[in-house]
Amino acid sequence: MTALEGVKVIDVGQFYFGPYCTVLMARLGAEVIKIESPEGDPYRRLPTVDGDGASIQFRFLNAGKRTMRLDLKSQAGQDILRDLAAQSDVLVQNLSPGAMDRFGLGYDVLSALNPRLIMASGTGFGSFGPYAGEAAMDLTIQARTAVMSTTGFEDGPPTRTGPSFVDFMAATHLLAGVLAALYQRTVTGRGQHVEVALQDAVIPALTSNIAGLLAPGQDIPERTGNRHGGHAVTPYNAFPTVDGWITVLCPTDAHWQRLCALMDDPATDDVRFTDMAGRCKYCEDVDAIVARWTATRGKDELTEVLKAARIPCAPIVTLPELLVDPHVKARQIIREVTDAEGTFTTLGSPMLLSDSPIVEPARAGGHGEHTDDILRTKLGLTDDEIAGLRQNHVI
């Protein structure tokens, strides 16, 4: 059986945060119903589309879910969601702050109908604190949480990270909270409200940067480029090669000594580089020595030489290189799936369980594709009742 077989999930999320949490649950075997407004998830309308005109981002985050069009601003739509919640295990939402309460769909209301329900709320800043209730997106959280001020080079402007890591990091935290609540429910028989704030999920990733700030006697710039965020390890950087770049780091003196043996450069004999403290203090000089060595070789050759010497390293891979990387293909985290309509690309699962198969992702449904079937099979509505809801623009 799959890990979450029989678990019924309602996804009232949009963008990346909520939908990534629920797509992971779908890969683990949960039945996920995605609720969309009459306009559809905003990411359905992004201009990055594949050959059949579907949004690639939407497909990545929603493959394997059943889709339902429902107007939660209407009384009838709210009634339908309450009825679905009454027979579900988990409801995940990351709508604008206060939206679920305004719709009469807050945790107190839904848990009164179904005490076993776990409601998972993804927010920007949480339900309390000075910023509670403020709208937030990946970029604004990076700005508010010192991610941008610590990204980039000292003499450059604050910079966002390339990946939208805030949403995805928070989504995995939200999933962890849901799984913990499901486990606790097996003992108590009760559900609960799980809350994860984007800002809270990101701050732990700043551990090295904060440590460098708090350490007495340290004077470290906020932005350290490709160097260690706490200026506690040198070398720790990206270095040029004849065909790109490579990252090299020496977290111990032994690593440094092995690197010195490879480089065979008399400059490494400088007493300033004897220990880590000295190398960090004179990191510019250390990096210059390493760069002089790497600049004469290819990144793949250097990778093999450094790996053989047990020195942490990795070539800097471009996006096109990533998509054809044999390891990425072997792990199937980016999947090409063929169905009756053709072949599409979506996400696999980063979670592999030895005794629980991962569910093969199905093509993301069209807007409201499964609405009628859900209303019939889950709520027992007749064709006439469904037709009435459609006539009144509830579905």
Task: Give the separation between CA 179 and CA 169, rounded to whole angstroms.
Answer: 16
pLDDT in tens, the chain (395 residues): 999 999 999 999 999 999 999 999 999 999 999 999 999 999 898 888 887 778 899 999 999 999 999 999 999 999 999 999 999 999 999 998 899 999 999 999 999 999 999 999 999 999 999 999 888 999 999 999 999 999 998 888 999 998 999 999 999 999 999 999 999 999 999 999 999 999 999 999 988 888 877 877 767 778 888 888 777 899 999 999 999 999 999 999 999 999 999 999 999 999 999 999 999 999 999 999 999 999 999 999 999 999 999 999 999 988 889 988 998 888 999 988 898 888 888 888 888 888 899 888 889 889 999 999 999 999 999 999 999 999 999 99
Where do the structural domains in the chain lie, given as residue ranges? 8-203+326-391, 233-316
With a CB cutoff of 8 Å and minimum separation 6, the contacts of 322 are 328
Q: What is the pLDDT of residue 249?
A: 95
Q: Please give the CATH architecture assigned to the domain spanning 233-316.
A: 2-Layer Sandwich (3.30)
DSSP string, 302-364: HHHHHHHTT--EEE---HHHHHT-HHHHHHTSEEEEEETTEEEEEE--S--BTTBPPPPPPPP
Q: Does residue 348 contact residue 335 with C-beta atoms inside 8 Å?
A: yes
Could you tell me the CATH superfamily of domain 8-203+326-391? Answer: Crotonobetainyl-coa:carnitine coa-transferase; domain 1 (3.40.50.10540)
167 is catalytic: yes
* Closest CA relative to residue 132, chosen from 157, 97, 99: 97
Q: What is the pLDDT of residue 86?
A: 98
Q: Does residue 245 contact residue 238 with C-beta atoms inside 8 Å?
A: yes
DSSP string, 125-177: S-SSSTTTT----HHHHHHHTTTGGGSS-TTS-----SS-HHHHHHHHHHHHH
Q: What is the pLDDT of residue 235?
A: 97
Question: Which member of 83, 167, 200, 339 is catalytic?
Answer: 167
pTM higher than 0.85: yes
With a CB cutoff of 8 Å and minimum separation 6, the contacts of 348 are 27, 331, 332, 333, 334, 335, 358, 361
Task: Give the separation between CA 248 and CA 72, rounded to whole angstroms.
Answer: 52
